[in-house]
Amino acid sequence: MQNLNLVHLSYLTLCALSDGVIIANSKGQVLFLNKVAERLTGWDIERAKGKFLKDVFIVYHEDGQTRYMPSLVVGLQQMDLPDYLVFRNQAGHIQCYITGTVTHFTDEEIMFSGFVLLFHDVSYLKQRESQIQYDFFHDTLTGLFNRAFFDVEVERLSGERMLPLSVIIADANGLKLVNDVFGHHEGDKLLQKIAKVLRSACRHEDIIARTGGDEFIILLPQVNREEAQAIVDRISRSCNEVEVSPIPLSVSVGTATRENKEDSINSIIELAEERMYTAKLRENSMVRDEMSKFIRKTLETHAGETAEHGKRLKDMSVEMAKRIGLDDYDRIQLELLAMVHDIGKIAIPKSILSKPGSLELDEWHTVQKHSEIGYRIVIYFPEMAILSTAILGHHERWDGKGYPQGLKGKQIPINSRILAIADAYDVLTCGSPYKVPVSSSEALKEIQRCSGTQFDPELVELFTEIIEGTADKAQ
């Protein structure tokens, strides 16, 4: 009776285990499965009894294709199963990963021997291991391969059977501009868009890696020079088709092809890099010109800075420049400044720029950033860089209470002082989301009221003469 209770207790224990248990006799015929083993194998205990273990315990090696047959060795006390065996479901997909042990046992008292197969689900370990491996070899931002994986693949692809092997190096244009002006979150989006373009232009077997902040390298096994150029052309077309925001998508590309085993892969990579930099030098002017046009167009649509507004500022500013004797060089700068002084507003949310009525304090602080943003934008463009200090200073005040640097009096660039008066007058007379328009005389009174505090008093006096003289001529 005690033995029966002990057997029953053992049975309950086996059934309660979270591991799978299969017991087979010395011939390999199944005697028992617990509930976990039934679930994972798909066999219930009644159907499985008497079947051979190889017909019930159907598992595959980690590749999911090669069948694994547990070895039943009489006398060997215990044998470990491989780390990641695979159970497949009815559709043939991986159901779970398992590992475990096969133990041979002998009961001399009843002259019986057999095997206990103990196994447990290690899918979570496999998943964690796969994630660690993925993270080690992938760029977290773009999902492309990283430098570590690229270095491994260079070695793998060095064999003669991979010839011809082409290399493409692509460098993102304008990333620094986007990071400096719009923030690194927009720079990240730019890199993600480029990664998507590169994937769409390449084959599944091609190796695409982000190897630096703005640099990508593509390895193309068994791709000749002409085929590589076709991929470069696809990349260029795809960039043109991507929705432009916040700047046009553009990459400078260099390519080279290894056609015989005597050439080292590193020399081919260096040649592709050389060609990329050559392309970048050749394209810089064109790329910057396109970006400049795009930014100016965006300024008009995003911030409401119309060409008419720029023309009015230019006319008033240049007239003041003539009256105080500035040379032609300074007047040309003023003309450009009138058109782009608010260029930093392209990075200010449109909801703030077009908000009717007064702004909240935090919104006003956001708007005030546009001078510094504009400064960073024009520094990127050599043809506009000369305007950087004037753009930075066009919201400084004569009394030193302006922004962003708190400059005072003649510390403020002369072009900034001129433009500040013309801009204030134009906004007063034409209106803005914040203010309704007023008459010319009312606007002039407001300018005069701020003489010596916000504006240069000598320039206010001169501006008054110009506006009143224009009014007299009109009568």
Tell how far CA 169 is from the center of its chain: 18
Kindly indicate whether the domain formed by 304-474 is annotated with CATH number 1.20.910.10. no
25's tokens: 């006799």
CA 261, 262, 264, 270 torsion: positive or negative? negative
What pLDDT, on the 0 to 100 scale, is given for residue 472? 57
- The encoded tokens of residue 301 equal 């649509």
Q: Return contacts of 289-295, CB within 8 angstroms, 24+ apart.
A: 290/248, 290/250, 291/174, 291/177, 291/247, 291/248, 291/250, 291/381, 292/381, 292/383, 292/384, 294/244, 294/247, 294/248, 295/247, 295/343, 295/346, 295/377
How many CB atoms lie under 10 A from the CB of residue 408? Answer: 14
> Domain boundaries in the chain?
2-128, 138-284, 304-474
pLDDT given at position 8 = 61
State how far the Cα of 393 lies from the Cα of 405, in Å rounded to an integer. Answer: 8
* Strand 67-68 relative to strand 207-210, pairing: unpaired
Tell me the pLDDT tens digit for each residue of 139-175: 999 999 999 999 999 999 988 899 999 999 999 998 9
φ and ψ of 214, to 5 deg: -125, 15
Give helix 265-303 / helix 328-340 axis angle, nearest 10°: 80
Work out the burial of residue 228: count CB atoms within 10 Å of its CB; fewer than 13 is exposed, 13-18 middle, 19 or more buried. buried
- CATH of segment(s) 138-284: 3.30.70.270
CA-based max dimension of the chain? 128
- Alpha-carbon gap, residue 447 to 420, rounded angstroms: 10
Tell which residue, 123, 214, 114, 121, has the closest CA to residue 169.
214
In CATH terms, 2-128 corresponds, of 3.40.710.10, 3.40.50.1370, 3.30.450.20, 3.40.50.880, to 3.30.450.20
Sign for the pseudo-dihedral over CA of 421, 423, 424, 428? positive
- CA torsion 345-351-355-359 (nearest 10°) is -70
* Residue 250: other Cβ atoms inside 10 A: 21
Q: Please compute Rg for the chain using Cα positions.
A: 37
Burial class (CB in 10 A: 0-12, 13-18, 19+), 412: buried
- Residues in the chain predicted with pLDDT less than 70, given as ranges, are 1-8, 303-304, 433-434, 471-475
- 280-303 burial string, b = 16+ CB within 10 Å, else e? beebeeebbebbbebbbebbeebb
Alpha-carbon distance of 120 to 98, in angstroms, equals: 5
Sign of CA dihedral 285, 286, 287, 288: positive
